Amino acid sequence: MLRRALQTGLILIFLTACNSATPPPPTSTLTLAPTATQPPTPTVTPLPTATPLILNLKILQPVVNCRSGPGVVFELINELKEGQVVRAVGRDVNSDWWYIQDPGRPNGFCWVAASVSQAEGETSRLPIRQAPGTRLLSLTLSVEPQYMEVNCYQFPQTFFFKAEVAADGPLIAQWQWEARDDGIIETGSLAFEQAGTKILNQYFQVNAAGDYWVQLNFLSPTPLNERINFQVRCS
């Protein structure tokens, strides 16, 4: 009887201990956040570059002039031969002249008349090129005489000046003559109907022996100037 009571007590103690034990904390589960997906990098597709239109041009006459502009009034740049093939890259607004790569200059261009050449292809697709601005090319000044020796009572004495001016096309040039002691002595203009050389004359009087100079200034469309010295001695 006593033995059974002891067994019953031990069982009760064991059950009480099990019920009073603190249950272990639940095992935490790590949940990974979804990785953010980066948007794809946009790919830029370059636009195709337009290729300039170039047409072959055949020369039809024995000698054809290639000029600085679309017209016979412009400066002669080069001469082309019959049967020669050149490359046209442009035209004037009326398609009367072709703008070509000058075969005589690696990076140069000039104009050929459509009437003396034959284009291979659709010339209407060639881009229109504007006529270039005309300009003065050169200025040379001379005096006659450049040296003079006279009696001291033989004054005034006159010196004569000659200017040669070249232009590459039609233009109107504004000029002025300037002298050492008198400043600006005359102004005016010189008209070019076409490319070429014009002569401008002037005279100047001196009243005493000395060293003098006269200068010719072109103000527009191209600034140019040339000075020349002359002397007069007396005894």
Query: How many angstroms separate the most distant Cα atoms in the chain?
Result: 178
Closest of 134, 132, 193, 200 to residue 165, by C-alpha: 200
* 83: Cβ contacts below 8 Å, ≥ 6 apart: 58, 59
Model-wide pTM > 0.85 = no
The reply to whether CATH 3.90.1150.10 applies to domain 55-125 is no
Q: Name the percent of the chain lying above pLDDT 70.
A: 78
How far, in whole angstroms, is CA 186 from its chain's centroid? 36
Please report, for the chain, the start and end positions of each structural domain, with discontinuous segments joined by +: 55-125, 136-234
Q: Which helix (H) or strand (E) holds 5?
A: helix 2-20
Alpha-carbon gap, residue 6 to 188, rounded angstroms: 146
Give the pLDDT mean for 4-22: 47
Q: Report pLDDT digits (tens) over 36-75.
A: 555 566 565 555 445 668 999 999 999 999 999 999 999 9
> Is a pLDDT exceeding 90 seen at residue 136?
yes
Instruction: Note the CATH number of domain 136-234.
Output: 2.60.40.10
pLDDT given at position 23 = 52
Residue 106 has pLDDT above 90, yes or no: no
- Four-point Cα dihedral 47, 50, 51, 53, nearest 10: 170
Higher pLDDT: 88 or 36? It is: 88
Model pLDDT, residue 32: 43
The Cα 11–Cα 112 span in angstroms is 124
